[in-house]
Amino acid sequence: MNHRFVLLAPALLTIAAAPQVAPVPAVTPVPLATPVPLPAPSPAPKPYATVGVTIVTSEGPIVLELERERAPITTANFLRYVDGKRFDGTTFYRAMKLGQAGLIQGGVRNATKLIYPPIAHEPTTRTGLTHDDGAISLGRAAPGSGRGDFFIMVGSVPTLDANPAATGDKLGYAVFGHVTSGMEIVRHILGEPTSPTAGPPAMKGQMLIAPIRILTARRVVAKRS
């Protein structure tokens, strides 16, 4: 009995032995890619030089930022009227509605004693400006006849910009700044009643029955830090 038990034991041990495992092949490490540095951010574009002006009307103040770098001739002309106090006591006299957009016009109008000589025309193709919401632009008849009358846009009217592909007068009007505060006053003036008969033929239905007074127009004095 004991001998038979001894003979079976090796067989049991053989069955219980773990199978051999094939060796795992060596893996060659992949070198990491060298990181590519990100390009340096582009510097912020340099802001154009501007000058501030506040027009105080009987309805409230309108603050302007004028483009003394991009529209130097037209800005200098407007500042000449401001510094000479020639807008004081004038009016916004016209409100022209153009669908959802429109404009209000003001200035010295026909007051001969207030008018300076006309200036050279600065078309929007030269300045890069446009007749968008809040733009201030110089009134004129023929190009080069602009003096002391100006208009402020409500909404965008790009048809007032220079257009070399247009027929006739292609030079448009000279934008020289934007309203930075007081557009609610501009919109209020645009909504004022107009006369159906007053004014020259091209402005019939656009002349304000009660023009809005311009009390003063002054440069904005920068606050010292």
Question: DSSP string spanning 90-140?
Answer: -EEEEEEEETTEEEEEEE-TT-GGGPPPP-----HHHH-----TTEEEE--
Per-residue confidence (pLDDT) for residue 178, from 0 to 100: 98
Per-residue confidence (pLDDT) for residue 105, from 0 to 100: 98
Question: Residue 182 in 3-state DSSP?
Answer: coil
Per-residue confidence (pLDDT) for residue 87, from 0 to 100: 98
Question: Mind listing the pLDDT tens digit of every residue in the chain (225 residues)?
Answer: 444 434 333 333 333 444 454 555 565 666 666 777 777 777 777 789 999 999 999 999 999 999 999 999 999 999 999 999 999 999 999 999 999 999 999 999 989 999 999 999 999 999 999 999 999 999 999 999 999 999 999 999 999 999 999 988 999 999 999 999 999 999 999 999 999 999 999 899 999 999 999 999 999 987 665
Per-residue confidence (pLDDT) for residue 9, from 0 to 100: 39
Per-residue confidence (pLDDT) for residue 27, from 0 to 100: 56
CA distances from 62 to 114, 124, 220 (A): 21, 23, 11
Question: DSSP string spanning 9-52?
Answer: HHHHHHHHSPPP-PPPPP-PPPPPPPPPPPPPPPPPPPPPP-EE
Per-residue confidence (pLDDT) for residue 5, from 0 to 100: 35
Per-residue confidence (pLDDT) for residue 45, from 0 to 100: 75
